[in-house]
Amino acid sequence: MIKFFLMVNKQGQTRLSRYYEHVEINKRTVLEAEVIKNCLSRSKDECSFVEYKDFKLVYRQYAALFIVVGIDQTENEMAVYELIHNFVEVLDKYFSRVVSETLNLLQNVFSLSKL
């Protein structure tokens, strides 16, 4: 099961976050900082799957954008890895280029879906 979805730039700023389990706001910032640190510090030669606390991180880098998905131990890492790629392909096809303005639009869409 997917626990959270993050889009992060190379500077380590969270551009989009979506949680599928309740996490308190102050814990989210700590979690995001640790997750970002773990993923951004890895080289391109290293595996895109990282064990972190009681879940796994699956991430992909697209230019200056990292997409990180937190999953539980039973989820298939390769399936999530491909899900990330398909998500980016859809965004690219729909918006022609995934850029900061698109991320701001996505934040609004995800915010509306909570209502």
Kindly state whether residue 19 falls inside one of the protein's structural domains. yes
Instruction: Give the end-to-end CA distance of the chain in Å, rounded to a whole number.
Output: 22
Q: Does residue 80 contact residue 7 with C-beta atoms inside 8 Å?
A: no
pLDDT digits (tens, 9 = 90+) for 47-99: 999 998 889 999 998 888 899 999 999 999 999 999 999 988 887 777 766 55
Q: Is the pTM of this model over 0.85?
A: no
Residue 75 lies in a domain: yes
Contact 65, 72 (CB under 8 A): no
Q: Could you list the residue range(s) of the whole structural domain that residue 24 is in?
A: 2-82
pLDDT the model gives residue 33? 92
Sign of the C-alpha dihedral computed for residues 29, 3, 54 and 39 taken in this order:
negative
pLDDT tens-digit readout, 17-32: 999 999 899 999 999 9
Selected residue with higher pLDDT from 53 and 115: 53
Domain count, the chain: 1
What CATH number did the domain enclosing 23 receive?
3.30.450.60
